[in-house]
Structure formats: C-alpha cells, structure tokens
Amino acid sequence: MNDLIREMFFPAFDNPILGQGLDAASLHVPPGRLAFTTDSYVVKPLFFPGGDIGSMAVYGTVNDLAMVGARPLFLSSGFILEEGLPMETLWTVVQSMRLAAEKAGVTIVTGDTKVVDHGKGDGIFINTAGIGVLEHSLEIGPSQVRKGDKILVNGDIARHGVAVLSVREGLEFETHIDSDSAPLADLVATLIRAGIEVHCLRDLTRGGLASALVEIAEQAGLSIGIQEKLLPCRADVKAICELLGFDPLHVANEGRLVVFVPAYQAERALELMKAHEQAQGAALIGEVTAADCRGQVIMRSLIGGNRIVDMLSGEQLPRIC
C-alpha cells in the first residue's frame, strides 16, 4: 500500500500539499464562505465513450461545488479497490483524474486507499470530496427563484446515460455517442462575472433534467413550465431512448446544468453560454410560471398537450454515476 501511494498517487497528483504525507492536508484558503461537497462514484463499466470513472469523479464533485457558485479549489480522493484489479486499470484511472483535475483547475491534496476482497467490490469505487470558495455575494439556490425566471440548459440532454448503457449492455448503434461529462465551474464563473444574477443552478446527473426541475419546484414551492420543442436532444440519442423505452428527461447527464435567471437577463445569459466551450448548445427551455404553490413541472409536448413531469421512483439506470 505504501508503495502504491508513493509510486502511483504521489507522482500523478504531484503537489507540495499532498507531498507532505501527513494525516491531513494543511490548506490556505481565501477568507469568506466555503463550499463543501462529496460524491461516491460506482459507474459501471469503469470506461465508457467520452469518459471514465476517474474524470467523472473529478468533474462530478467540481460541478457540485459550481452549483452553489463556488470556485473549486481542493479535492480529496478515496479509492476502494477490489482485490485482483489490474494495476494498469488503476493507473489509467489515476492518470485520467490527474488530467481532469488540471482541466478543472483543482488540486488533489489528500487521499486514502482501501482494498476489499475479490467479490466484495467491483473493480474501483472512488469517493471525492471538494472544497471551493464563494467569491461573490449571490445566494444561489431554489429559495432565490422567482416567478418569471427563465430556465436555460447548457446543451443537449441524455447523452451520458446512453453512452454508458451502450457499453454496459454491449449495444451497437450506427452512431457514436460520447458522454457529455465535463467540468462546469468556469461556465458558472463566466455568468457570475458578467453580472448575471444567477438565482439557481443544478447539474442534471442521476434522474436527469426531470429530477432536477422537480426538486427545485418542490423545494421552492413554485411551478415550472418547459416546452418539449425547445429541449435540445440529439436525434440519435432520442431514437435510442425510444427504442429502449427511456424518457430523455430522466436519463443522466454529467456535463449539463440548468440555470435560473431573471427574465430581463435571459438573452444575455444565453449569449454568454453559447460563447463558452461547455455550453455551445445552450437553449432557453422554459420559465417559472407560478410561485407559492405546491410545486410542479409541466411540459408542453410537441403536439400541444400538457404533461406533468415526475421524478422516477427507483432508478431507471443503476450505477450510471
């Protein structure tokens, strides 16, 4: 274990804080409010088109920090390895984490590795926790959402779930579908720096767009209306979802978020997003239609009907993240 740490983790995540080799990392953080979050990653398989468990474990936690408007600074990483895991597999995952951390501008400063017996794990599970700093005075969250707010999404939905499923189930499609896995903190920072009064943010992971919107509607006690014709979703992804009986609204994404902004800033926010690498396919998909209610999400369908959007009970796709 000592050799593993010295020869694999220390060089890969090379930085002076981790290199101290202490029980806890000692950090200098800017004064002010901090954000703190954690996620475990159990995606199956470990590698999928457009990503792997390593990059996902970095981006996922970075994105959770970004959803409260924080600038991500530091990550921890905890590995649970199954006995018999090929070291090349671990190496590949660790290198992917290193690259993802560079891309997202975070430093992995502390870590831990445990090994469980064969048949008591599944290759690699990773937990990352993250610390970010809040460098603005906005409160971002469901409580800030107001009637009339416009809702933007940063690109086409449902790709991550379909990409993972395709390799897991050995499905072959005539088309190539990459996960949308990506870091979103810079996109959020771009909006805030430009003076957009971001009211609420949420990344569209497990449970998809539907879960994110229903959660916000319920937490804030307001009604949301979206339009199916405005929802960006690739035709091939939509076709595969139809074939498999999935609703793209419920399929997980890893690099997608919704942004709630005041109506008067919606156009400007959309422009800023489209100019950003992580939101070129951004779209306005709906608005907040009523406040002070029980909270629900209604989608106007392509044929003009109204449909209540629900959270799924149970998991549509287990181990997608």
Residues that bind a copy of itself (CB under 8 A): 1-2, 20-29, 31, 33-42, 63-65, 67-68, 70, 74, 76-80, 109-117, 119-122, 125, 127, 129-132, 134, 141-142, 201-203, 206, 215, 219, 311, 315, 318-319, 321
Q: Tell me the closest approach of the beta carbon of residue 276 to a copy of itself, in angstroms.
A: 20
Q: For residue 293, what are the CA distances in angstroms to 5, 31, 142, 167, 200?
A: 53, 38, 14, 42, 18
Q: Tell me the closest approach of the beta carbon of residue 220 to a copy of itself, in angstroms.
A: 11
- For a copy of itself, which is the closer residue by CB, 133 or 244? 133
Q: Tell me the closest approach of the beta carbon of residue 307 to a copy of itself, in angstroms.
A: 21
Opening angle at CA 270, ends 200 and 195, nearest 5? 60
- For a copy of itself, which is the closer residue by CB, 298 or 312? 312
- For a copy of itself, which is the closer residue by CB, 38 or 280? 38
- For a copy of itself, which is the closer residue by CB, 26 or 306? 26
Q: Tell me the closest approach of the beta carbon of residue 305 to a copy of itself, in angstroms.
A: 27
Q: Tell me the closest approach of the beta carbon of residue 259 to a copy of itself, in angstroms.
A: 13
Q: Tell me the closest approach of the beta carbon of residue 168 to a copy of itself, in angstroms.
A: 12
- For a copy of itself, which is the closer residue by CB, 42 or 309? 42
For residue 57, which of 19, 24, 90, 88 has the smallest C-alpha distance?
Answer: 90
Q: Which residues of 223-260 are buried (b: 16+ CB within 10 A; e: fewer)?
A: bbbbebeebebbeebbebbeebebbbbbbbbbbbbbbb
Alpha-carbon span 22 to 19, nearest angstrom: 8
Alpha-carbon span 62 to 303, nearest angstrom: 38
- For a copy of itself, which is the closer residue by CB, 220 or 299? 220
DSSP per-residue codes, 232-294: ---HHHHHHHHHHT--GGGS--SS-EEEEE-GGGHHHHHHHHHTSGGGTT-EEEEEEEEESSS
